[in-house]
């Protein structure tokens, strides 16, 4: 399985109260689980910078990750940037 990094920036108008974020996140998570069953979520972190959230996922098919990112954009009211990630030890071994 390949590793992908999804960076998300929430739209300011996505919610009126930060407490609403949990509901929004649960809605997005349910959609992805239903529509992208072959994407395995490894971890997620809240960020303090240009992006608000980083998700680390694995999938055999990049189209599945593209679909997950589209769900984040549509239902999560966010912009995303998705990158392929190579585990550090694999990268070093390939040099």
Distance (Å, rounded) from C-alpha 34 to C-alpha 29? 9
Cα–Cα distance for residue pair 4/69, rounded to 1 Å: 11
Alpha-carbon separation of residue 14 from 18, 47, 72, 79 (angstroms): 10, 17, 12, 11
Mean pLDDT along residues 37-51 = 95
Phi-psi region for residue 77, left (φ > 0), alpha (ψ -120 to 50) or beta? left
**pTM score, two decimals?**
0.89
Using an 8 Å Cβ cutoff, are 79 and 11 in contact? yes
The CATH superfamily label for domain 2-94 reads Dimeric alpha+beta barrel (3.30.70.1060)
Q: How far apart are CA 23 and CA 2, in angstroms?
A: 29
Q: What is the pLDDT of residues 47-81, one digit of tens each?
A: 999 999 999 999 999 999 999 999 999 988 999 99
């Amino acid at each position: 399985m390949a590793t992908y990094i999804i960076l998300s920036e929430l739209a300011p108008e996505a919610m009126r109260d930060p407490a609403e974020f949990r509901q929004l996140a649960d809605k997005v998570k349910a959609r992805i689980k239903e529509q992208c069953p072959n994407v395995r979520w490894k971890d997620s972190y809240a960020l303090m910078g240009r992006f608000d959230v980083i998700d680390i996922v694995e999938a055999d098919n990049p189209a599945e990750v593209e679909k997950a990112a589209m769900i984040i954009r549509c239902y999560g009211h966010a912009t995303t940037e998705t990158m392929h990630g190579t585990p550090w030890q694999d990268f070093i071994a390939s040099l």
